[in-house]
Amino acid sequence: SVLKNATLLLLSRTIVRGHALLGDPAARLLGMSPTRDPYPDYESVRERGPVVKSKMGLYLTASHELCDSLLRDPGFGQLAAGELSPIDSVAHIGPRRLVNPVEDSFLMLNPPDHTRLRRLVSPWFTPRGLRDQVATVERVVEEYLDEVAGRPTFDLVGDFAARVPIQVIADLLGVPDADHAAFARWGSALVNALDGVRDLKELRALHNGLREFEEFLDGLIDHRRRHPGDDVVSRLVANEDLRREDLIATTELLLVAGFETTVNLIGNAVLAVLAHPEVRERLLDDPGCAEAVVEETLRLDPPVQYTVRTPFETTEVAGTSVPRGTPIMLLLAGANRDPAVFADPHRFRPGRPDGREHLAFSAGIHYCLGANLARMEGAAALRGLFRRFPDLRAAGRVRRRPSRVIRGPERFPVSTGAAE
């Protein structure tokens, strides 16, 4: 079954690539080099109409109005990708089916299960629930900046951006300090797998990661049963109605959804600030504008580029009939540059009056649970970074993450200005 799934995945990639070469807009987005600039593709989808049916049979939209309304429409929901999802294929390997942090979690569930599970963890993510986290985030930012302060150059992603969110989520979940590195590794491996795997070796590595992660969480759950704290896992463990699978999937989702997304937000925000000297000046004069810089980064270059919704029944969408069970790709990053909503949409303009309309955190019932946390972490990271290194500049080639879903730098060498 591993071989069959690997073959299916590789075959689907070849088919997608073939369609891409024939000019299919969906295939161009899915099949071409994931590191190239996707924004012209979103524009060309929007130019073809509110809903585009690709030759491969996929439906796409880059219209803000349509993305927003479909995300809020109870007639549309989540559909598990099943066999073609690499995480799902590996979850089935071995004597016991492993929990799939994406497809078994409330991210991919519909009401009423979605509502029940989301409600259990939402109190931690309200502004009130996050009050205590503000000081932790600021302390963590300063600690990591202390570590790089003596060096003329460092990797903005590996040495800084990737470390802040992992510390915060691990604290929320009650993961001991000693396990943070492994925790970060599992988080990255799972997010990278969202784009598919290239060969059997990657499939095996994904399986091992998933298994180790689940074993680790079983141990953590056991520990918290005996020694409860005031963390999310302890609270979930105390809920006797919750199945083990739901507990594990929820915990895994919080790591997967909250880690790389925030890393890329910080990376994309710093890229934008370095490219706009006037924004750097404003940020140095008034660190309070970090929130506006984060918001505009979310609009112009969002870490999550698209999501998918599926109609429960055959439905007319902007004049196109979409058959029941057929996925529509909602190009959130394209909607965020829709000129019907955003004036001069390709321009980076923190504080723009229409800025808050963006869909970087989705909309409707799956609206990002961690939006407040992500905004707070992003702003604290930017404020801390430019206060400490007002002359921060790029110091080498930026390597982009090889992903179409998640966008941002994977390696970003910067110079602190200390050696100049």
Interface residues toward ligand HEM, by CB under 6 A: 106-107, 118, 169, 253-254, 257-258, 261-262, 265, 302-304, 307, 360-362, 366, 368-370, 373-374
The tokens for 109 are: 């569930």
Bridge-based pairing of strands 393-394 and 315-317 is: unpaired
Shortest CB 334 distance to ligand HEM, Å: 13
Within its chain, how far is the Cα of 97 from the centroid?
25
Q: CA torsion sign, 255 to 257 to 262 to 264?
A: positive
Helix 371-388 with 260-275: angle, nearest 10 deg = 40
* Per-residue buried b or exposed e for 22-56, using 16+ beta carbons within 10 Å of the residue's own CB: eebbbbbbbbbebeeebbebbbbbbeeebbbbbeb
Shortest CB 350 distance to ligand HEM, Å: 16
Q: Which residues contact 285 (CB under 8 A, 6 or more apart)?
A: none
Give whichever of 196 and 258 is closer to ligand HEM, judged by the CB atom. Answer: 258
Give whichever of 213 and 361 is closer to ligand HEM, judged by the CB atom. Answer: 361
Give whichever of 158 and 364 is closer to ligand HEM, judged by the CB atom. Answer: 364
Give whichever of 196 and 370 is closer to ligand HEM, judged by the CB atom. Answer: 370
Give whichever of 203 and 257 is closer to ligand HEM, judged by the CB atom. Answer: 257
Distances (CA, A) of 55 to 18, 29, 321, 331: 11, 13, 15, 17
Residue type, 141: V
Give whichever of 132 and 222 is closer to ligand HEM, judged by the CB atom. Answer: 132
Shortest CB 114 distance to ligand HEM, Å: 6
Which ranges constitute the DSSP H helices of 238-318? 244-258, 260-275, 277-285, 290-300
Cα distance between residue 259 and residue 268, in whole Å: 14
Shortest CB 312 distance to ligand HEM, Å: 16
Shortest CB 23 distance to ligand HEM, Å: 28
Shortest CB 2 distance to ligand HEM, Å: 28
3-class DSSP state of 76:
strand
Cα distance between residue 290 and residue 28, in whole Å: 35
Q: Which residues contact 194 (CB under 8 A, 6 or more apart)?
A: 87, 102, 403, 405, 406
Nearest to 207 by CA among 88, 83, 84: 88
Shortest CB 365 distance to ligand HEM, Å: 6
- Other CB atoms within a 10 A radius of the CB of residue 328 amount to 25
Strand-pair partners of 329: 60, 308
The tokens for 41 are: 């593709």
The tokens for 278 are: 């006037």
Longest dimension (CA), the chain: 63
Shortest CB 285 distance to ligand HEM, Å: 25
Give whichever of 28 and 407 is closer to ligand HEM, judged by the CB atom. Answer: 407
Shortest CB 194 distance to ligand HEM, Å: 12
Give whichever of 157 and 360 is closer to ligand HEM, judged by the CB atom. Answer: 360
Shortest CB 16 distance to ligand HEM, Å: 21
Give whichever of 93 and 233 is closer to ligand HEM, judged by the CB atom. Answer: 233
Which value, in Å, is the radius of gyration of the alpha carbons in the chain?
Answer: 21
Give whichever of 207 and 337 is closer to ligand HEM, judged by the CB atom. Answer: 337
Chain residue at closest Cβ approach to ligand HEM = 370
